[in-house]
Structure 1
Amino acid sequence: MTTLTICEAPLTLAQLRAVLDGPVTVSITHPAWTDVERGAATVAAIVAEGRTVYGVNTGFGLLANTNIAPQDLETLQKNLVLSHACGVGPLLPDAVTRLLMVLKIASLSRGASGIRRETLEALVALVNAGILPCIPSKGSVGASGDLAPLAHMSCILIGVGEARVDGQTLEAETALARAGLTPLTLGPKEGLALLNGTQCSTALALAGLFAAEAVFAAGLAAGALSVDALKGSDAPFDPRIHALRGQPGQIAVAAALRRLIDGSAIRDSHRDDCAKVQDPYSLRCQPQVMGAVL
């Protein structure tokens, strides 16, 4: 299982690929927790002082100018989550959901969203226990981000909806109990903090990127094997040739092919005292090789 420590530095593509590939254990550094607690204290001060701040003690959208009474702030955040949990269609793959959650944890850990430590700890506990909310793959709302998918993610925290655990689908409260959790009551602004963001879109984009990288890597391996099978030369991959072109991608691919072919016994078998001066010509002179390929 991959261990991932979230700190002030951005997550790398290699770390995010590991999250997509399998289960992960997440931890957050002390400085990051300090930032989270500072952000939560800022929101608490706003409420205590009676200041009016959008999303903390006002309505949303067209109701932005509507003040919400202190005793209704928890209901406001809960209703925000429930009203946006309106996705449809097949569920997101478990791997994408796990990556989405880790991206959300990384975003919230910066301390700029005003979320409380206990709420973020619950989200971390779900990931570490392999509890993945059931998130429909279609449907979102507005330009503020992936509101519907993130609402379904957030529903689990308040004991609503379903989650997948080891391939099983469980009711939210049952799934929470697996991680030693009980449903949370969201504090001021927490529903907004959980819903705003593009973590679903980012997770899907990363899944596509990593799949493309895997296909490309397979293509490089197949190309290197083909050169070996055809008793080809590695001279065309000489770095001096590709440096003349100056195309970074071409230079990188040539270097990768050289690494893959390096040490080939087949290549070494005709490195010395070989009459070949051009591979295509040599292939025409070796019909048995061409026949094997065709």
Structure 2
Amino acid sequence: NQLGWEKIKLHPKEGLALLNGTQYMSGIGIYLLIHALPLFTAANVISAISLDAFNGKSEPFHPLIHIVRNHNGQSFVAKQISDILSESEIHLSAPNKAVQDPYSFRCIPQVHGASYDLMLFVKNIIETEINSVTDNPLVFPDEDKILSGGNFHGQILSNAFDMLALALNQLGNISERRIYQLISGQRDLPAFLIKHSGLNSGLMIPQYTAASLVNRNKILCTPASADSIVSSNGQEDYVSMGANAANKCLEILDNLKSILSIELFTAAQALHFRRPFKSSPFIESILEEYRSVVPFIEKDEEMYVHIQNTKIFIENKMKDWYLQFN
């Protein structure tokens, strides 16, 4: 009533059609895609900030590397990271003398790109499903037929959600490794990204939180689609567990958002120690806005408030980033 919507009046068979198909898991699938794709762009943006904060090398993102291994997602991510880092003073004025960076930085295109390709595959499945008829029996008036079949079975969605779970988990897994690298006292960064690390723990504990969330996601990645249970006296003897797969994905998605929040919190702290050099104009604009809600950490304090505010910041920005880079 508050929205001014009229109550739907169901006609014969419509109630069954709403309940006896894949509508529940399809609905969750739409929600997951609406949030997962912008969050993927956020993962790329945040990883680029981490790369600059770590004073990582730009060579691994050169297009020639990705042309000779022509996976769409890999090439897409490499270009996106390069665009985000365009005109960074850190890259131009403070060259990295290391021969190679750790995998969590050097292989961002290969890892993020693999997740992106899986996400697009899942998107295609869900788009097909929501434009399909999945109840039973099916009525074909023009052919004068009523046919009983199995379009209600959610196996393809269950498989898709389990794949999406892996894609999201991998983004969180590699993000936590970048967090660890940033706080580990390498590349002229102070240990735990705090000026007086002997007196302060700095960003030590947020990395614990990220590691805990990553390991929770690993458990949630156990495939629901590998399971089944018998019901209805053996008539319904093989089920998809698609709703379970979808619900697990929701938790993984939220955990990933928290992991990426910790990475942004960490990377922004690390970039402070690169001054007077600045990052790219795009990243500097993000940092300016971010610092209006999350301060630079001078000494130990409660970190959970800053992580939560970072999470809200990402939620408010990720759709804009998605539209800008897609």
Return the TM-score normalized by structure 2: 0.28
Where relative contact order (Cα < 8 A, 6+ residues apart) is larger, the structure is: 2
Q: Which has more helix, going by share of residues?
A: 2
Greater share of strand residues, 1 or 2? 1
Greater radius of gyration (CA): 1
